[in-house]
Homo-oligomer: A and B are copies of this chain.
Amino acid sequence: MNKRTFTVDICLSPTLLPLYELKGKVVVIVDILRATSVMVTAFGHGIASITPTATLDDCEYYKTLGMLTAAERDGMQAEGFDLGNSPFSYQTDFIKGKDLAMSTTNGTQAIAASLNADHIVIGAFLNIDAVRDYLLKLRKPVLIACAAWKGKPNVEDTLFAGALLQKLGEEVVWENDTCQIAHSLLESAGNDMLSLVHETSHVKRLKRLGIEKDIEFCLQENIYPLVPYLQGKKLVI
């Protein structure tokens, strides 16, 4: 096995993505609350593919083709679509073998902004070790792209970036200061990410929507050992 190190960088917001070279890179898209956690959950329960769409119009178009659709804006299910953005709605046999089109406030926007990358994969705490193993096998430069909240960096995506760095350990070289920043956040959380995440303004906003169970679920590690990746316009595993 080739043991050379490779670089890892972290982009804290999709608004900053144009500053990063994506060509030649593996981009790990992260939207812990909740787009990428939901995607991983859906694959864990047998969905065949997910087509991420940046706009609701595109998502509606796929609905006219007879596809299952999911859409969320500002934390709530958008009207007229089959599913929203709670991982619990995907834990059902109903989705098995189906093709889903999905549009979310932040996560699918981050995917749309990363299309110049060589590989796009979906990361969440729910599949973090599988993502680490995938990156260690590929050994290409990595950019962890946080979906953030409407462009503003958030705690939970930054925490995930720090945790993935930690798990990659000595196999990688940190490319930029955001690596120190994310890693410090992880260290300050210690064994209690949930408390740190609960303190954040972003999560206070989400809690008003009654999704505390979702938050707890999305912070669990390694529930689904799989890595969704973009193939053409579709995520598959």
| B188 near A176: Cβ-Cβ < 8 Å | no
Shortest Cβ distance from A54 into chain B, in angstroms? 18
* Chain A interface residue number, banded: 20 to 34
* Chain A binding surface SS class: helix
Chain B residues in 8 Å Cβ range of A183: 188
Q: A16-B13, A19-B150 are in contact. Are A184 and B188 (CB under 8 A)?
A: yes
Of the listed stretches A41-49, A63-71, A196-204, A223-231, name the one at the interface; the rest are far from the partner chain. A196-204
For the complex, what is the distance from the CA of A50 to the CA of B231, rounded to whole Å?
A: 54
Within 8 A of B (CB), among A150-165: 150-155, 158
A149 in the interface (beta carbon within 8 A):
yes
A11 — nearest CB in chain B belongs to which residue?
B152
Q: Known interface pairs A15-B15, A16-B16, A187-B184. Does A177 touch B155 (Cβ–Cβ under 8 Å)?
A: yes
Known: A152-B176, A184-B184. 9 other contacts (CB 8 A): A19-B151, A149-B177, A152-B177, A153-B181, A155-B177, A155-B180, A175-B201, A176-B202, A187-B188
A-B contact pairs, 24 of them (CB 8 A): A12-B153, A15-B15, A16-B151, A16-B152, A19-B151, A152-B176, A152-B177, A152-B178, A153-B181, A154-B177, A155-B180, A155-B181, A158-B177, A158-B181, A175-B201, A177-B200, A177-B202, A180-B185, A180-B196, A180-B200, A184-B184, A184-B185, A184-B189, A185-B185
